[in-house]
Each structure stands twice: as C-alpha cells, then as structure tokens.
C-alpha cells in the first residue's frame, strides 16, 4: 500500500492517506510528542439508509428502520466473547455510535496501540448474529427507545425533524421504533452488513502517537478484500415546504427547551465551500459577540451556556438549527428571524465578517491539537466527500460577499419550524 503525504502550508501539519488493496481508505495523522492515540473505523451507513440498491442488483431493497443502530450493538459480540472485554485487557477506552449517515467504532489509548487496533479491525469484520442473540437485543434496544421517548433533548430534536420533513427518513429515530426493531432478523442484519460494511464504503482514521508503517502492516495482515460494490441510497421525493411550523410537547423539564430550524433543499451532500460559508455565517449571526446574542442575553431570553447553533446536513437533508433554553421560545424565534432580515437588508459589516472568519479559522486550527478531533473530523469529511486541509483553505479563502451570498440562500422564514418541550405544570 502506497501512502501519500498531504501537507498544509498554513499550519505545517501533515498526514498520510492511501487506499488499501482491500478497498479501505486509510488516513494516518502522526502527532510527535502526543501521549495518546485515537482510532476510528467507520462505514458510510446510518439510520436514513433504509431503502437502497446495490450495484450488483437490479431491484431496490427496503429494510426496517433501526437496523444500522442494531448492527452497531451486535458487532461487539462474537462467538469468542465481547469486544469490550478484549479492550479491557489492553487498557483502551472503546465506544461506538450510529448517526443519521454513518456508523463508527473507536478507541483511545496511551499504550498497546497495535493490540487495540488489532481488536478494532477484527471485531468490525466479524459479524455473528443468531435468532437468540437478536431476540435478546430487541429487548435491550426496545428499553433504550422507550428511555429516549422521555428524553427532553431527544424529543425536541425529533419533534422538529418530524414537523420539518414530510417523507425523508431523517425524521425517524436513529434507533427505530419498538415495532420496527421487532421485524429485524439475522437475515436482515447480514444483508445490511454485507452491503454497507464493504471496505470500499468504509474508512479508517488513526491520529496521535502512531507509527504509520505499523498500521499498514496490520492492515495488510487483517483486512479482508471486498468486492467493488457500490450502494445507491433511495429516498422518497421531499417537498420544499415544512409539514408544520410549530410543535410542542410537555415533559418534566425545569425550563422550556427549543430547537428552531430552517429547512433547505438538499439533493446530496453539501460541498466544503458551502459548509465553510455557513460556519462563518452562523458565527456572524449568533456568536457571543453578535448583536443578536447580546440582545437575547440582555432581555433574559436565553442563557449563554445553553444557546447553540448547528448546520445539520447529510444525504438528502439540510437545515440550520438554533437551540437552547428559554422562558419564551416564540420570542427567541421572532428575534432570530428579525436579525436575519436585518442582515439581508443592511449586509454584513466588514468588521463582523473578519471577526467571525478569524474565530472559525482559529477554532479549526485549535482542533488539530486533539487526536480525537482530528480523527473524527477526517472521517466525517471523508464520508461527505471533503478533506481536512481543503476545508481550512476554504475558510481562509472566504470573502464577505461569499457569506452574504450564502445568507440569501439559507434560513427562509417560510420554511422554519419551532419545536418546544415545555414543563408539565
């Protein structure tokens, strides 16, 4: 396997990238002097991938919601025992997560890097499902789903997505429903595993105290070649409009929670240039130094610890989200729309743009000090078709006109949804 060194003239950092003969893209970011190592092995397969067509098949396949998350749980088990028990012997801290568009397995450690990486490459490539183990997991995940049904932070998000999207599966809980996971069988799990856990659809990122040659040698020994099968994700047509503009649920919370989102038209993944434009735009609009934030704080409408912004995007979905706690979420939403209208009418000042751009650029540079941030960012950018240093260059090249152009494209008040979770009493 040939590794290509990629350098950043801006930061002086470099990493190695290459495609293994098995089909797996590998990214290695050595950090001399680092005391820890972080590795993440993931697949471009998330909760929204419920209808798909393999390149070697003519007909599409639809599976029950929740299978990606179910697979994540089951892969830690094998005929030989539990992967967490194996990690306990190396001293590594292991975990995994399923998102809307990916599933990733990871560990961090300060020693025994080779042994821990060997465990990661082994169990993710060794599926083992039986009727008995599937039935047992259905009960466990069913309890998890019921627990999240009462989680205010979870409900305020999915209530918003449910009001925003007519058809896209992003509106469905990542874990599925109690009814959908009851339909999962070992056959479904093997079907999805062999479709999406193809090494050509996956990536391995390792950052920190590593020897790149050691990782390559381990990959040569352990990776199992995959057929060059590609997967087409299939989604029902999604109208530009939202389903409803406001949704509210009462739960036992001390203060109302809100998520205020603006739906966008999204055919595929958003390119890195537009991601950079949006990150700077949100910094202009709602950072601690922004007029909007000062006004919201001065009037006691939000607190600086809970108020946040996010650009939430993936295959076939995209929206800007403002979230936090407020005694008057409707007033917060009105103030956000008012500030967006003001910026559209008056334009973004050069001083506000420069301040926001420096803040975003600095944040991304600081993230290169953390092996965990590096590996997580590299794999998410890879799955979106972007690249680490390329994103930094996009931020550095932004002009005020770029960000103002993005403002004209985003945050249409006619396509906004306010989701509120309010106290029961």
Q: How far apart are CA 25 and CA 69, in angstroms?
A: 23
pLDDT at 94 over 90: yes
Q: Give the CATH number of domain 4-233; options: 3.30.420.280, 3.30.830.10, 3.40.50.300, 1.10.1040.10.
A: 3.30.830.10
Q: Which of 229, 419, 232, 262 is nearest to 336 (CA)?
A: 262
Examine the pLDDT at 80 and tell me if it is beyond 90. Answer: no
Tokens 């500030």 correspond to: 339
- pLDDT tens figures, 370-398: 999 999 999 999 999 999 999 999 999 99
- Is residue 24 within 8 Å of 203, Cβ to Cβ? yes
Query: How are beta strands 37-43 and 25-30 bridged, if at all?
Result: unpaired
Bin 117: left if φ > 0, else alpha if -120 < ψ < 50, else beta.
alpha
Domain 246-423: which topology? Cytochrome Bc1 Complex; Chain A, domain 1 (3.30.830)
Of 406, 74, 31, 424, nearest in space to 252 by CA: 424
425: exposed, middle or buried (C-beta count within 10 Å: 0-12, 13-18, 19+)? Answer: exposed
Residue 35: C-alpha distances to residues 102, 108, 253 (Å): 28, 11, 41
Is residue 404's pLDDT more than 90?
yes
DSSP β-bridge partners for residue 199: none
Enumerate the domain spans of the chain: 4-233, 246-423
* Average pLDDT estimate for 21-37: 94
Q: How confident is the model at residue 304 (pLDDT cuts 50, 70, 90)?
A: confident
Catalytic residue among 5, 57, 72, 313: 72
Asked if pLDDT for residue 58 goes beyond 80, the answer is yes
Query: What is 161-187 written as a DSSP string?
Result: HHHH-SS-GGGS-TT--HHHHTT--HH
User: Is 72 labeled as catalytic in the residue annotation?
Assistant: yes
The Cα–Cα gap between 5 and 14 comes to 7
Query: Is pLDDT larger for residue 418 or for residue 289?
Result: 418
Judged on CB neighbours under 10 Å (0-12, 13-18, 19+), 394 is buried
CB-CB contact of 124 with 197 (8 Å): yes
pLDDT at 356: 97
If one compares 37 and 228, the residue with the highest pLDDT of the two is 37
- pLDDT 10s digits, 316-347: 999 999 999 999 999 999 999 999 999 999 99
Least confident of 175-179, 224-228, 319-323, 402-406: 224-228
**Each residue's pLDDT tens digit, 179-215:** 999 999 999 999 999 999 999 999 999 999 999 999 9
d(CA 306, CA 10): 33
Note whether 4-233 and 246-423 share their fold: yes
26 confidence band (pLDDT: 50, 70, 90): very high
Looking at residue 310, what is its pLDDT? 96
**pLDDT at 127 (0 to 100):** 94
């Amino acid at each position: 396997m040939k590794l290509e060194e990629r350098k950043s003239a801006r930061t002086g950092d470099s990493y190695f990238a290459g495609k293994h003969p098995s089909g797996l893209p590998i990214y290695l970011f050595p950090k001399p002097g680092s005391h820890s190592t972080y590795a993440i092995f993931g697949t471009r397969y998330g909760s929204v991938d419920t209808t798909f067509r393999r390149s070697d098949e003519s007909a599409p396949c639809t599976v029950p919601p929740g299978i990606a998350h179910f697979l994540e749980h089951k892969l830690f088990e094998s005929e030989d025992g539990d992967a967490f028990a194996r990690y306990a012997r190396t001293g590594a801290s292991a975990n995994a997560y399923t998102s809307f568009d990916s599933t990733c397995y990871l560990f961090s450690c300060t020693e025994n890097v080779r042994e821990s990486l060997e465990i990661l490459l082994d169990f993710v490539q060794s599926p083992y499902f039986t009727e008995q183990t599937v039935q047992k997991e259905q009960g466990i995940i069913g309890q998890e789903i019921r627990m999240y049904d009462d989680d205010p932070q979870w409900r305020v998000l999915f209530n918003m997505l449910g009001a925003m999207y007519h058809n896209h599966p992003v509106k469905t809980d990542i874990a599925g429903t109690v009814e959908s996971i009851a339909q999962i069988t070992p056959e479904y799990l093997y079907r999805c595993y062999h479709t999406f856990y193809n090494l050509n659809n996956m990536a391995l990122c390792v950052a920190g105290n590593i020897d790149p040659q050691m990782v390559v040698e381990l990959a040569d020994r352990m990776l199992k070649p995959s057929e060059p099968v590609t997967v087409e994700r299939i989604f029902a047509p999604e109208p530009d409009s939202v389903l409803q503009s406001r949704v509210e649920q009462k739960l036992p919370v001390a203060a109302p929670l809100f998520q205020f989102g603006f739906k966008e038209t999204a055919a595929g993944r958003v390119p890195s240039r537009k991601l950079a434009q949006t990150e700077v735009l949100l910094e202009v609009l709602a950072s601690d130094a922004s007029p909007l934030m000062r006004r919201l704080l001065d009037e006691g409408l939000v607190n600086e610890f809970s108020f946040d912004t996010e650009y939430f995007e993936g295959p076939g979905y995209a929206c800007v989200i403002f979230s936090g706690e407020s005694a008057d979420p409707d007033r917060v939403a009105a103030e956000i729309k008012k500030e967006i209208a003001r910026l559209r009418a008056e334009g973004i000042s050069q001083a506000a743009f420069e301040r926001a751009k420096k803040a975003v650029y600095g944040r991304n540079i600081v993230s290169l000090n953390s092996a965990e941030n590096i590996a997580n960012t590299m794999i998410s950018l890879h799955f979106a078709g972007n690249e680490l240093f390329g994103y930094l260059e996009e931020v550095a090249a932004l002009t005020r006109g770029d960000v103002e152009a993005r403002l004209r494209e985003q945050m249409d008040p006619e396509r906004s949804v306010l989701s509120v979770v309010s106290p029961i009493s």
